[in-house]
Structures are given as structure tokens and as C-alpha cells.
Amino acid sequence: MHKPIEGFSKLTKEEKIEWVTSNYTTNPEAAKSLLKRYWNPNQNVQKRHDEFIENTLSNYYLPFAIAPNFLINEKLYAIPMAIEESSVVAAASKAAKFWLNRGGFKTKVLGTEKIGQVHFIFNGNPSELEAFFSNIKPKLIASAKHITTNMEKRGGGITDIELRKKTDKLSDYYQLHCTFETLNAMGANFINSCLEQFAETLQQEAENYLGFSNTAKPIEVVMSILSNYVPNCLVRAEVRCDIDELQEGEMNGDEFAQKFVQAVAIAKAEPFRAVTHNKGIMNGVDAVVLATGNDFRAVEAGIHAHASKDGRYSSLTHAEIKDGVFSFWIEIPLALGTVGGLTSLHPMVKLALEILGNPSAKELMQIVAVAGLAQNFAALRSLVTTGIQKGHMKMHLLNILNQLEATEAEKSQLVKKFKEQTVSNAAVKEALNKLRS
């Protein structure tokens, strides 16, 4: 029976490791060895990693890869991706190569507005609250001047504050709906600092306002926080070509295009399919977001909310055939940053951004959207032609062989063997046993 521990965060790293391995592992010495094996040999780098989060014991590595040959707005990119799932990088690279000689990817940022809200309860007369807000709106903005000055010098800052009545959703519930421009920063800390200042000013001004009939604490602030749903921080990525350029093996371009458009239509109509369809998009999006030190959980939440914006979960991508031209595109909300946070602290993030040409936040939005679109194109291309498993399982072959503890010589022979055979766990295991016997 495990016992609670007091003051775990105050222990040294070695003491934390000793406690965890002694109490929660069957072989403490092996566990200690594993944790220490994944420390960075450079003490300065390791110290920086340790300080990213709390109670660190070691590092948890993910593969860092490159998907080359992405032509985006006539500029060639090699896109860094950090992900553990086999076939994702290969699929992205294959899609990039496919579109390289068909005009590449075209992208456009449609908006960069970020959002935060002050949530509060008001149980008085709505018209009195509206009059109060009109009176204090300039004071709210002025009260945050010490926070916004530097951002304003760079061209960003607070863009608006609205009073929103939400009493149809929750009794006496109102909010300050605030919008921001944060330029190359994701801006979470900036936005939250502004919101907390708004909340403080709102509460203080309400206590001294003489226009409320109910003067006994008329406004009660519940919380102040940014939103990860940013429907007006939007980017579009698209590919298009004549359907004659889409021939796939024995399938002519028109047949391929028709099946492809039908596959997207199914993802639009059927939520069970849409979830998997969009998960494939996020394979590409998350891998680039993670490699560039951005918050992939926030991106995931916002994008999936966008997929439900019409009241039903649906496809994030769209496809059509018009006048003999095939078009495939995506529009997704992406709140990203290229300064601040891990972008200036994590050495691999710095390298990833350097490989991308040190993009602005707007440029990174476009690159990430392209990665998502490419991933979806590759998946749908497989689904409507050979099926998804043929390519995926071939890429998964080395994982299976590593799980079976195959030697390098065995891997080499079996990779050759399965070039023309269907890969499955059972088939690989049988082939390995035959080879060993």
C-alpha cells in the first residue's frame, strides 16, 4: 500500500528518483538507470529542460524528422516534425512531392485575432450594466496600459472589449469579450495579464458606481482567462490542378478525383468518419506545432471546436471538381507564436524555426496548415486507391521487428522480404521464427 508524501517538490532530482523507483517500480536499479540514461549529457541543456516543468526526473524523447519538398507560395520548405507515429512523415513527404510539380500549395492568413474573456455575475438591471460598461470601457483599456505599451509599440495590443449578455445560457451570467493582436507571440501570458487587470478594474469601478439600483456587490467576477477557440485567427491552405494530372495507376484522373471528393463528402456527413479524418489532419498539424515549441493541446482544442462550428462535428477539409479542375483546401484556426515560451529556450525548437527560415507567426500558421492538408491528402489518396494499411504497415515494420528484438541482420533480411508482401504482426513473427530456425 503506497503512502502519500509531503514536500515531494522540495526534494532534489536524485531524491525524487529514489522515492519513485523505490515505491513504484519492480526493479528500482533498472528504473534509475533508464531515467539517467535519458538525461542530456550537457548539464546546462539538462538544467534548462528540468526547469520547463515541475518534478522532472528525466527527458521523454520523440523522433525529430524532416518532410522535404514542400512548395508553399512558390517557396520551398523542409518541414520539421516531432511525432512518434510511423508513416506520418512519409505520408507528408509523399504528398509534398506529389504537389511539387502541380503548382504546390497556396496559402493565405484570413485573420489573426485572439480572444480572452472576463466571466462575471450581475443580478441587476441589464440596461444599468450597459450604461456602466459604456462609462468604464476607456478606463478598462487605460488600466492595462502598463501591460500593453511594449506590444503596442510593435503594432499589437487590445483591439476591442465588448459586453456580452449570456443570461439565456446561465442565470445572471455576463462577460467581457476581449480581442487582441499579439503579432509573433502566441500571447497567452499577455492576454491573461490584461484580462486580470480588466477584472480588477471592473470590480473596483462597480463598487463605486452610483447608477446601480442593487448596490450590494452588483458584480461578482468569477474568472478571467484567454480562449483557445480563435475562429478569427484563421488560415487557408489549398492545392489545385487539372483532373488529368491526377491519374493513379490504372485509375484515371477523373475517377480518382470523383472518389476523392466523395471521401471528403462522407467525412462532412458522418461524424464517426469525420473524427478519424480530422485526426489524420492533426497528425501533420501537431507534429509541426510540437517541433516549433507551440502548444499542441490548445491548437487541438481550437481546431476541433472549429470542426463543430455549424452544430455538428464535420470535416475540416473540402474538395470539389469544377470546370475540369480539382481543388482541395482547408481553413483552420491557429494561434501560434515564434517568439516567447519554448521558442527561445528549447535548442531543438530554435533549430526547427531556423530550418523553416525563422518564420513570422503568420508564416508559421501557413506552414502548419499545409502540413495538415498534405497529411489528409496522403491519407485519402491511399484510402480511395490501395487502402490505408499497405503503406502504413510497411512503415510500421521496423517497430514490429524492434518489439520482437530482431537483430540488425534479421531486420535487413525481413525488410527485403516484406517489400512485396503484406505486413502484419502475425506474418512478421512467423517469418522471424522461420529465419531463426
Catalytic residue of the set 97, 177, 279, 350: 279
Phi and psi at residue 401, to the nearest 5° = -65, -40
The answer to whether 154 and 168 have CB atoms below 8 angstroms apart is no
What's the rounded Cα separation, in Å, for the pair 410 and 41?
32
Smallest CA-to-CA distance from 40 within 287, 346, 339 is with 346
236's CB contacts (< 8 A; 6+ apart) are 107, 108, 110, 329, 330, 331, 369
Task: Output Rg (C-alpha) for the chain, integer angstroms.
Answer: 26
Smallest CA-to-CA distance from 429 within 392, 401, 393 is with 401
333 membership: H or E segment, kind and range: strand 325-333
The Cα diameter of the chain in Å comes to 91
User: What one-character DSSP code corresponds to residue 50?
Assistant: H
| Residue 297 CB burial class (10 angstroms; 0-12, 13-18, ≥19) | exposed
Q: List 241's β-bridge partners, or say none.
A: 326
Q: Is-catalytic flag, 85?
A: yes
Cell numbers linked to 314: 464535420
Q: What residue has cell string 512531392?
A: 97
Burial 95-105 (b: 16+ CB within 10 A, else e): bbebbeeeebb
257 membership: H or E segment, kind and range: helix 253-269
246's CB contacts (< 8 A; 6+ apart) are 253, 256, 257, 260, 326
User: What is the three-class DSSP state of 76?
Assistant: strand
Catalytic residue of the set 13, 18, 50, 85: 85
Q: Is-catalytic flag, 84?
A: no
User: What one-character DSSP code corresponds to residue 87?
Assistant: T
The answer to whether 89 and 62 have CB atoms below 8 angstroms apart is no
User: What one-character DSSP code corresponds to residue 8?
Assistant: G
What's the rounded Cα separation, in Å, for the pair 64 and 79?
11
Catalytic residue of the set 32, 295, 346, 396: 295
Catalytic residue of the set 16, 32, 392, 394: 392
- Report the chain's terminal Cα–Cα distance, integer Å: 46
Active site residues: 85, 279, 295, 392
